[in-house]
């Protein structure tokens, strides 16, 4: 069942002499219990999109449904109550600097008018969950980035939300801390059943913990699907760029000579036993050069890619493509 | 030497000065904080942007801030009479001080609140906080150190203005300095009152800065 449904969403920012379409034709349905990632380059409209889920930003057009309730039709009080069911964490943590860790976690309970003693008990449990029990009297300025984000997570969970929105939650953190936070989010998802929505520009975040992903480019969703599917064969240009282009290997730098036809082959773990390239060469009786290859684990599945340079002869090229088609290999020209 | 003979003169003057300063500071803050919050909230990036209200308040505040204190003191004499029943003495100085300080405080408060990170306010909103809760539990509490530093500046400024109270026979150290020191050209009294004023300003400044430093958890 979809917990969040975004329908035909559009956001236009109107400045004095200009109209900027930040988002348009957005249709996303986020299932209960999943970890959903939204990725895009900066300026793609990711942060605006996540803010329209809890109506921190109002859509210009379109609707957002939370558990089948149209958020746009709620009055101020109903909206505030919905927000208590949707926790949110941020890139810059946004902790109350003048309050200690415990009081930060207590804050959402305090504004909900919850009873003090049960609140304190709840806050301490959450600090235990994020492994910060020993820091409850510390102030945010005394904590590291990762610790601050853990406090923010505990705070966001205080009102027992059904959804946790993460706006670039790991972008200000180093890789090791990022992994700790991602593992924590995964645990919260698995153990507490909280649906997690992650906004990021880091492919590794999606790769690590997301079940499904939507790729945002130039104010639209250009691609959406299960993470291993999308990673295996991204269809959109931006998807290819995000997945194969700017990875930690910087593999875009393979040396492609001019006018040569190159193919990028994507394959998953089920085919790694088959000598595809060798078979192709034997079948077509023509050799190819391998310019680049890599493989990685995504969600427990091995995904790989190879870039090959084809001979110039168009006929041979066609034969090779036909061979790949017959083996159900996904490829495209690069 | 007047020092020994008129010790009571100084004590009375100090009491009057502190009375005028703290009573008017207190009242001014009671008016200035809500006014500052209103300015902050109705401004363009505020909680409830409302340019009509903002522009009106902003103009009002600027008008009162631009009238020289001595002129204001005389200008509002009728109001002073209604409010405190007299136009002379330390009490009579309080209304003009309040009129002059409240808009000043409103601006100080507005600028302190503006220092609060918008992200923190957004976080509070995402938790379902009402605007009133954001003001009381986020804005005012997060900007406390800045507000205290503002108070140190404001109160010492009010103290300085209160010295002009001599013009309406208001009493206080400033009055003594003018009447005995300036008009009668008694340099000793002039010097002593000035030194006393410096000490009081120094004490207030240090006290508030100390509290601000101590209460600031960011350091």
CATH number (domain holding residue A304): 3.30.70.260
User: Has residue A324 got a pLDDT over 60?
Assistant: yes
Please give, rounded to a whole number of angstroms, the shortest distance from the CA of B108 to a CA of chain A.
Answer: 20
What integer best gives the mean pLDDT of chain A? 88
Inter-chain contact A88–B123, Cβ cutoff 8 Å?
Answer: yes
Out of A173, A200, A235, pick the residue that ends a domain: A235
Q: How many domains does chain A have?
A: 2
Q: Are residues A223 and A284 in the same domain?
A: no
Q: Are residues A227 and A253 in the same domain?
A: no
Q: What is the pTM of this model?
A: 0.82
User: Has residue A270 got a pLDDT over 70?
Assistant: no
Q: Are residues A173 and A225 in the same domain?
A: yes
Contact A168, A202 (CB under 8 A): no
CATH top-level class for B2-215? mainly alpha
What angle do helix axes A145-157 and A116-129 make, rounded to 10 degrees?
A: 140
Cβ-based neighbours of A135, under 8 Å, separated by 6 or more? A101, A127, A143, A147, A151
- Tell me how far CA of residue A223 lies from CA of A26, A28, A37, A206, A242, in angstroms: 11, 11, 12, 14, 12
User: Has residue A252 got a pLDDT over 80?
Assistant: no
| Closest partner CB to A111 (pick from B129, B145, B219) | B129
Question: Which class for B1: exposed (0-12), middle (13-18), buried (19 or more C-beta within 10 A)?
Answer: exposed
In this structure, what CATH number is given to the domain that contains residue A178? 3.40.50.300
Q: Is B138 on the interface with A (CB under 8 A)?
A: yes
* pLDDT tens, position by position, A69-128: 999 999 999 999 999 999 999 999 999 999 999 999 999 999 999 999 999 999 999 999
Select the more confidently predicted residue: B9 or A116.
A116
Q: Is B219 on the interface with A (CB under 8 A)?
A: yes
Select the more confidently predicted residue: B53 or A237.
B53
Q: How confident is the model at residue B92 (pLDDT cuts 50, 70, 90)?
A: confident
In chain A, the percentage of residues whose pLDDT exceeds 70 is: 92
Helix (H) or strand (E) holding A4: strand A2-15
| Closest partner CB to A98 (pick from B122, B128, B142) | B142
Domain that holds residue A298: 249-333
> What is the pLDDT at residue A149?
97
Residues in B touching A137 (Cβ below 8 Å)? none
> What is the pLDDT at residue B32?
97
Residues in A touching B138 (Cβ below 8 Å)? 96
Rounded CA-CA distance A105/B48 in Å is 26
* pLDDT tens, position by position, A271-311: 666 788 888 888 888 888 888 887 776 656 667 778 888 88
Q: Are residues A85 and A198 in the same domain?
A: yes
Is the residue at A62 inside a domain?
A: no
Contact A85, A163 (CB under 8 A): yes
Residue of B108, B128, B121 lying closest to B212 (CA atoms): B108
Is the residue at A287 inside a domain?
A: yes
Please give, rounded to a whole number of angstroms, the shortest distance from the CA of B178 to a CA of chain A.
Answer: 45
Q: Are residues A253 and A231 in the same domain?
A: no
Q: Which stretch of A239-243, A292-296, B82-86, B153-157 has the lowest confidence by average pLDDT?
A: A292-296
Q: Which of residues 140-179 of B touch A (CB under 8 A)?
A: 141-142, 144-145
- Tell me how far CA of residue B146 lies from CA of A153, B61, B98, B112, in angstroms: 28, 20, 21, 6
CA dihedral B123, B127, B132, B134 (to 10 degrees): -20
Is the residue at A275 inside a domain?
A: yes
What angle do helix axes A145-157 and A101-111 make, rounded to 10 degrees?
A: 20
Task: Give the sign of the dihedral formed by CA B161, CA B167, CA B171, CA B173.
Answer: positive
Q: What does the DSSP 8-state code read for residue A256?
A: P
Is the residue at A90 inside a domain?
A: yes
Is the residue at A69 inside a domain?
A: no
Residue of A31, A25, A27, A1 lying closest to A11 (CA atoms): A25
> What is the pLDDT at residue A1?
78
Is the residue at A299 inside a domain?
A: yes
């Amino acid at each position: 069942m979809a917990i969040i449904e975004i329908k035909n969403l559009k956001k236009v920012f109107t400045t004095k002499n200009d109209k900027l379409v930040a988002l348009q034709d957005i249709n996303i349905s986020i299932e209960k219990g999943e970890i959903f990632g939204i990725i895009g380059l900066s300026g793609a409209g990711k942060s605006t999109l996540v803010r329209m889920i809890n109506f921190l930003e109002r859509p210009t057009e379109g609707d957002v449904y939370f558990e089948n309730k149209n958020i746009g039709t709620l009055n101020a009080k109903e909206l505030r109550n919905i927000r208590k069911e949707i926790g949110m964490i941020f890139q810059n943590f946004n902790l109350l600097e003048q309050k200690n860790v415990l009081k930060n976690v207590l804050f959402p309970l305090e504004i909900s008018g919850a009873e003090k003693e049960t609140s304190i008990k709840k806050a301490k449990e959450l600090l235990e969950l994020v492994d910060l029990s020993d820091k409850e009297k510390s102030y945010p300025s005394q904590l590291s980035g990762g610790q601050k984000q853990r406090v923010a997570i505990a705070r966001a969970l205080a009102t027992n939300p059904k959804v946790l929105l993460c706006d670039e939650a790991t972008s200000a953190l180093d890789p090791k801390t990022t992994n700790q936070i991602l593992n924590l989010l995964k645990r919260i998802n698995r153990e507490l059943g909280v649906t997690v929505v992650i906004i990021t520009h880091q492919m590794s975040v999606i790769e690590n913990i997301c079940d499904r992903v939507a790729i945002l480019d130039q104010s639209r969703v250009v691609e959406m699907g299960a993470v291993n599917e999308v990673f295996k064969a991204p269809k959109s240009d931006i998807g290819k760029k995000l997945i194969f282009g700017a990875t930690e290997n910087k593999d875009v730098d393979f040396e492609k000579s001019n006018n040569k036809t190159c193919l990028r082959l994507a394959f998953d773990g089920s085919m790694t036993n088959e000598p595809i390239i060798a078979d192709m060469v034997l079948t077509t009786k023509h050799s190819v050069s391998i310019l680049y290859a890599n493989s990685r684990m995504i969600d427990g599945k091995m995904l790989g890619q190879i870039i090959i340079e084809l001979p110039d002869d168009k006929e041979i090229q066609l034969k090779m493509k036909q061979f790949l088609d017959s083996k159900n290999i996904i490829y495209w020209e690069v | 030497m007047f020092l020994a003979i008129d010790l009571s003169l100084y004590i009375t003057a100090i009491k009057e000065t502190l009375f005028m300063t703290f009573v008017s500071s207190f009242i001014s803050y009671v008016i200035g904080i809500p006014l500052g919050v209103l300015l902050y909230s109705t401004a363009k990036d505020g909680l409830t942007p409302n340019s009509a209200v903002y522009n009106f308040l902003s103009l009002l505040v600027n008008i009162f801030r631009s009238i020289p204190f001595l002129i204001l003191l005389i200008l509002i004499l009728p109001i002073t009479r209604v409010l405190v029943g007299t136009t002379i003495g330390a009490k009579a100085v309080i209304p003009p001080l309040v009129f002059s300080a409240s808009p000043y405080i409103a601006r100080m408060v507005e600028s302190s609140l503006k220092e609060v990170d918008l992200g923190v306010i957004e976080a509070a909103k995402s938790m379902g906080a009402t605007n009133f809760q954001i003001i009381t539990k986020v804005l005012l509490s997060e900007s406390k150190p800045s507000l205290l530093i503002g108070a140190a500046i404001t109160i010492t400024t009010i103290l300085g203005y209160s010295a002009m109270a001599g013009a309406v026979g208001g009493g206080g150290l400033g009055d003594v300095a003018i009447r005995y020191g300036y008009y009668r050209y008694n340099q000793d009294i002039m010097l002593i009152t000035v030194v006393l004023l410096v000490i009081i300003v120094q004490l207030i400044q240090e006290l508030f800065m100390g509290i601000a430093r101590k209460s600031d958890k960011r350091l």
